[in-house]
Structure 1
Amino acid sequence: MDHTEIPLRGGNVSTGVVQVGRTVRRPAGPWTPAVHALLAHLHTAGFTGAPKPLGVDEQNREVLTFIPGRVAWPDHFALLDPDVHLARVARLVRDFHDAVAGFVPPPDAQWQVLVPADGSDIIAHHDLAPWNLILGDPHWAFIDWDVAAPGTRLWDVAYALHGFVPLSADARWSRVDAGHRLRVFVDAYGLDETQRRDLITLLAPRAQAMHTFLGAQAAAGKQPWARLWHEGHGRVWEADAAYIGRRRQDWERALLD
């Protein structure tokens, strides 16, 4: 067996993540047993859009199956067709939420709670975004489950919409068809009218929660969040929250008309 370690880089906070053969090794934490129980449940439930847990190695690193494919962000993100690929992402999120609904966490479960959700009807992923989506053949899958924690379906969906529509104030990423993309995602996920109204109300606060989190971590000097704050990520989330709030009527027309 080849034990060569190949560093895997991506996102803003991944450190110490390597590929070894057909596995991925990541630093383990107090949350790892609960996350592995979650991932094992998902595969038992038939959900293929996540890595399988393989335990912990001799260096106290969690071991997961390596999912071959391309990370959607940033190079392949622009190629995602809203009516085909964006709908596929939404169905993947829905499949995860349906599969996790029957999960009973271990009695001693510890979760890495970064941004507390507004409820706890499921164990949510909390980082469903293009930088955590692997475009594999035949399966697409989400990675980086280490911040999975109690949350809600809509909390996860609101965050996913921010990244996949995207709901961005930045001219490089904002889309003139944002309303259409929002509708495609929500239709494919299958929200009813009441859930759509609740989602619209949640979109801006979900983005603002990220700004608040980064600001608090920076004030406490906690890394890597302090670095991200000083690099301007806090301002980005604040601007996006304001942008989403200003366009509330657009989202209402897109989802309710």
Structure 2
Amino acid sequence: MGTEDEALVGGMTNAGTVFRRGAVVERPAPRNAPALHAYLLALKGNGFDAAPTPVGLTEDGREQLTFIVGDVALPPFRGWVMTTTALESVGRLLRRLHETSGVVGVDPRAGWPGDLADPEGGTMLCHNDVCPENVVFRDGRASALIDFDLAAPGRPLWDIAMTARYWVPMLDPVSAAGLYPEGLDAPARLRILADSYGLSRQDRAELPGVVEQATDVCRAFVGRRVAEGDPVYVQALAERGGWERWDRLQAWLADRRETFMAALLN
């Protein structure tokens, strides 16, 4: 990298390997980069302007994408990231992505990663990782999504559940402490996300259960990374309370399932 390159911080998997050079971001290319780039170009061709545009692939296994100007939140998340306005804008942006993604369709032969994929599959490509670090904000509102590396076919409801995990957040108070502002009302915020997305009543009734399903998948994902000896995930698991944290979180979600259901439907 040249002296004019700016290292971009954030994320776990590609930490320290993402650089900006002017209007272009260069980062490690996922294995299915050709299919993913075709998808991103199809999104743009169908009017979705809130994602990076592929520029090309380098010979040394990196991808180049357009840089999107704005603010990206890093943990611990400050108050502006968790405002009602921010949450509503995330819901609306996710709905726009899904509407366009449904038109684009998905190539089932493209080798989409299964790390956080919907176990029930689907005909639409889900982002699967709409965490604060992957949302670009302008003037306090979500304006773009980045880092589609974990995108895979699934149900729209699955993507909403994965998004809710980060943005409500669907975390017990002990797990949320230190990462999120205090006093966030999880049932009310889940309702706001559903309302801003325009979620149907049937999907609202299913959402708490799908959040629990998504949490199971996320736990298994961390387990695989830890078993492989990935130092980033080994350290993160230790710093965040080990497997006891996951046990506590999953019990908390199950205990409050009816509370979340009532907030969504009443």
Asked if TM exceeds 0.5, the reply is yes
Partner of 2:172: 169
Between the aligned partners of 2:122 and 2:231, the Cα distance in structure 1 is 27
Offset of 1:104 from its aligned partner? Answer: 3.5
Match of 2:199, SS state, is coil
Partner of 2:93: 92
Relative to 1, partners in 2 of residues 1:65 and 1:157: Cα closer, same or farther, differing over 3 Å? same
Partner of 1:38: 39
Corresponding residue pairs, total: 256
Partner of 1:248: 257
Match of 1:183, SS state, is helix
| One-letter code aligned to 2:122 | S
Offset of 1:255 from its aligned partner? Answer: 0.5
Between the aligned partners of 1:233 and 1:54, the Cα distance in structure 2 is 40
Gaps of 5+ in 1: none
Q: Is the 8 A contact 2:105 2:124 kept in 1?
A: no
Offset of 1:185 from its aligned partner? Answer: 0.8
Give the 4+ runs in structure 1 shifted more than 6 A.
Answer: none
Partner of 2:189: 181
Alignment partner of 1:145 is 2:148: yes
Between the aligned partners of 1:30 and 1:98, the Cα distance in structure 2 is 26
Between the aligned partners of 2:157 and 2:142, the Cα distance in structure 1 is 24
Between the aligned partners of 2:4 and 2:59, the Cα distance in structure 1 is 15
Partner of 2:12: 12
Partner of 1:206: 214
Match of 1:184, SS state, is helix
Between the aligned partners of 2:53 and 2:92, the Cα distance in structure 1 is 20
Between the aligned partners of 2:107 and 2:98, the Cα distance in structure 1 is 18
Partner of 1:73: 74
Relative to 1, partners in 2 of residues 1:190 and 1:139: Cα closer, same or farther, differing over 3 Å? closer
Match of 2:149, SS state, is coil
| One-letter code aligned to 1:184 | I
Match of 2:104, SS state, is coil
Relative to 1, partners in 2 of residues 1:81 and 1:25: Cα closer, same or farther, differing over 3 Å? closer
Match of 1:12, SS state, is coil
Task: String of CA shifts for 1:121-162, please: whole Å, max 9, x gaps.
Answer: 311111011111111368711111111111211111111111
Relative to 1, partners in 2 of residues 1:52 and 1:238: Cα closer, same or farther, differing over 3 Å? farther
Q: Is the 8 A contact 1:204 1:242 kept in 2?
A: no
TM-score using structure 1 length: 0.89
Between the aligned partners of 2:230 and 2:114, the Cα distance in structure 1 is 14
Task: String of CA shifts for 1:169-197, please: whole Å, max 9, x gaps.
Answer: 14424645211111111011111111111
Alignment partner of 1:125 is 2:133: no
Offset of 1:200 from its aligned partner? Answer: 1.8
When structure 1 is superposed on structure 2, of 5-14 and 234-243 the one drifting more is 234-243
% identity of equivalent residues = 33
Offset of 1:230 from its aligned partner? Answer: 4.3
Between the aligned partners of 1:125 and 1:4, the Cα distance in structure 2 is 31
Q: Is the 8 A contact 1:34 1:105 kept in 2?
A: no
Partner of 1:26: 27
Q: Is the 8 A contact 2:86 2:142 kept in 1?
A: no
Between the aligned partners of 2:60 and 2:102, the Cα distance in structure 1 is 33
Relative to 1, partners in 2 of residues 1:216 and 1:59: Cα closer, same or farther, differing over 3 Å? closer
| One-letter code aligned to 1:146 | D
